[in-house]
A and B are shown apart, each in its own frame.
Chain A
Amino acid sequence: DQQVKQNSPSLSVQEGRISILNCDYTNSMFDYFLWYKKYPAEGPTFLISISSIKDKNEDGRFTVFLNKSAKHLSLHIVPSQPGDSAVYFCAASRGDNYGQNFVFGPGTRLSVLP
């Protein structure tokens, strides 16, 4: 049972254009959502997050949108740069008394073409 889905295994965009990565989740108990970027031979690096009480969060070129009713979030990168080429993982979390339990999607490979 895949609770976090990223239905596009790969995405190619031209440098300077917008990249939109999508993520869907099934568990309505998730209340904290994150995006991670991963380069080859490195661990995932935290990029941006959003709490379920918000519908948008921005950090520089990166914006995450959350649509709770659709159980959908997206990451927008504007403008896209060649250094953004990486695998992007969507993750969702629900908290309990012992901390957070993170579930990851399968990832989308973004290629930004010069």
Chain B
Amino acid sequence: EAGVAQSPRYKIIEKRQSVAFWCNPISGHATLYWYQQILGQGPKLLIQFQNNGVVDDSQLPKDRFSAERLKGVDSTLKIQPAKLEDSAVYLCASSPWGREGDSPLHFGNGTRLTVT
């Protein structure tokens, strides 16, 4: 089974520039998550999709962050404009749908963003 794929692995941009990250979840996984992990902290949920619908985006800074999951498969996360505090690893994760037995998240290797 192929894992969660993310690209790019690394990105360096200047503040006020824009950046986009891409994620392809495990085949058949209906739920997709984007997490932000700042150095020394645990992953923090930004947005959760169920198929192509948003379930939870309460912690997404919507003035600068946006995300979409077209056709319920791939997803992109965009930051525009970037701030210095956005420097972090952005992790995509997927999970089978719902509560038919608890199931863990499967993470990609993340995109390390550095904003200078």
Residues of A within 8 A of B (CB): 4, 6, 32, 34, 36, 41-46, 49, 51, 89, 91, 93, 95, 97-107
| Interface pair B43/A44, CB less than 8 Å apart | yes
In the complex, chain A residues whose CB is within 8 Å of the CB of B104: 34, 46, 49
Q: In the complex, what's the smallest C-beta–C-beta distance from B35 to chain A, in angstroms?
A: 8
**Contacts across chains A and B counted by CB atoms under 8 Å:** 73
Known pairs A42-B109, A43-B108, A49-B104; A104 contacts B99 (CB<8 A): no
Known: A44-B107, A91-B105. 20 other contacts (CB 8 A): A32-B102, A42-B110, A43-B91, A43-B109, A43-B110, A44-B43, A45-B107, A91-B42, A98-B48, A98-B56, A99-B30, A99-B48, A100-B95, A100-B99, A101-B45, A101-B48, A101-B56, A102-B45, A106-B41, A106-B42
In the complex, chain B residues whose CB is within 8 Å of the CB of A32: 102
In the complex, chain A residues whose CB is within 8 Å of the CB of B91: 43-44
Known pairs A43-B91, A99-B48; A105 contacts B99 (CB<8 A): no
In the complex, whether B61 has a CB less than 8 A from a CB of chain A is: no
User: In this complex, what residue of A is CB-closest to B98?
Assistant: A99
CA distance A102 to B91 in the complex (A): 13
Residues of B within 8 A of A (CB): 4, 30-31, 33, 35, 40-45, 48, 50, 55-56, 91, 93, 95, 97-99, 102-110, 112
Q: Which of B31, B44, B107, B110 is A99 in contact with, Cβ under 8 Å?
A: B31
| Interface pair A105/B42, CB less than 8 Å apart | yes
Mind listing 27 A-B residue pairs with CB under 8 Å? A4-B42, A32-B102, A34-B104, A34-B105, A36-B107, A42-B109, A42-B110, A43-B4, A43-B107, A43-B110, A49-B102, A51-B102, A95-B98, A98-B48, A98-B50, A98-B55, A99-B30, A99-B95, A99-B97, A100-B31, A100-B95, A100-B99, A100-B103, A101-B56, A104-B42, A106-B40, A107-B41
| Interface pair B50/A99, CB less than 8 Å apart | yes
